[in-house]
Amino acid sequence: MAVSSAVARCPSITSCRGDHPKPSLSFSFSLFHSSPSNKASSLRKRASSSLVVKCGFEAGVGVMGTKLGMMTFFEPSGTAVPVTVVGFREGNVVTQVKTTSTDGYDSVQVGYRRVRDRKLTKPELGHLQKAGTVPLRHLQEFRLTSVEGFEPGNQIVVEDIFKEGDLVDVSGNSIGKGFQDWNSILIVTSVHSSILSKEEENTDSDDNNGGHGGNDGGDTSYGYGGIKRHNFKRGPMTHGSKSHRALGSIGAGTTPGHVYKGKKMPGRMGGTKTKIRKLKIVKIDKDLRVVMIKGAVPGKPGNLLRITPAKIVGKNIPKN
């Protein structure tokens, strides 16, 4: 099964927890005969011994690919499955092997997508020439528990590390949405211009009547980006409310006297590195050099993707 094979490829899963020795009796006894500051530091040291260390290793070496688009794949049973088609250009070659003795950790660096020499700098060309590879645009590392069997210049074949039914993690840059507030600012600006034109037309009548012409216009708040960017709820649309899509309060008054860092407000949305875990490989076409992955993956067609064996730990193991 895909689950068992993925677990077998990650021997580091069981070793990701921090197996620290328990504190001795003398250490525990010293907690009751130390100053308050020493006692607090000792308690912190003691608590840190039971923490779970985050696993930073990949479940296996991965590959890089290019998103081609989405389509519908029909299984032999007739079930329609939405899939993402990932193609592979020239590349996926091992460009460097790092070991604990030379670099302090074990990892495999892989290059992808051949380009012309003039597209790279001289240091980049020299690095690739040492590995005996052609000029490659993208270089990424896959940190592993063991790098045995990998040599610079080795070709990584997709069919050798993945098979149909395997679960993979796919990461890439998400689609950029731009600054989520600008459209509403343009709308407010047009409303302001229409109000000003009405005020200019009614200036004479306003002076004669001693009043103020025109009306107060629509909502002039500039905080509309929170609904799309942060899934905020909108305000009332009737009964005199003018805060339809505005943020509302962004903090207190004199205390603290400023907006806290990290406050959810309008801003740039999308265009960030995103990873989708445990996607199923539906089909591998050797002739077309494409892989069909069930579901959606980050980015637009043409986006660079990083595909690795899925990290399956504990309750994350799927039922099917």
* 80 and 163 co-located in one domain: yes
Q: pLDDT value at position 221?
A: 45
**What phi and psi values does residue 73 have, to the nearest 5 degrees?**
-110, 130
Residues 153-211: tens digit of each pLDDT: 999 999 999 999 999 999 999 999 998 885 544 555 555 566 666 666 655 544 444 44
> Rounded CA gap, 239 and 90, in Å?
62
Q: Quick one: 169 and 182 in the same domain?
A: no
Q: Does 9 share its domain with 148?
A: no
- Tell me the C-alpha distance between 250 and 38, whole Å: 41
* Whether residues 282 and 168 fall in one domain: yes
Same domain, 224 and 92: no
Comparing 56 with 304, the larger pLDDT belongs to: 304
255, part of any domain: no
Q: Does one domain contain both 133 and 182?
A: no
Question: Could you tell me if 112 and 231 lie in one domain?
Answer: no
pLDDT tens digits along 67-114:
999 999 999 999 999 999 999 988 899 999 999 999 999 999 999 999
Provide the number of structural domains found in the chain: 3
Clarify whether residues 68 and 128 are in a common domain.
yes
- Specify the DSSP element, H or E, that contains 188: helix 182-201
CATH classification of the domain holding 300:
2.40.30.10
Per 3-state DSSP, the chain is made up of helix, strand and coil in percentages (nearest 5) of 25, 25, 50
Q: Which residue range forms the structural domain that includes residue 130?
A: 63-175+274-316
Query: What is the structure's pLDDT at 142?
Result: 93
Instruction: Record the pTM.
Output: 0.67
State pLDDT tens for residues 107-122: 999 999 999 999 999 9
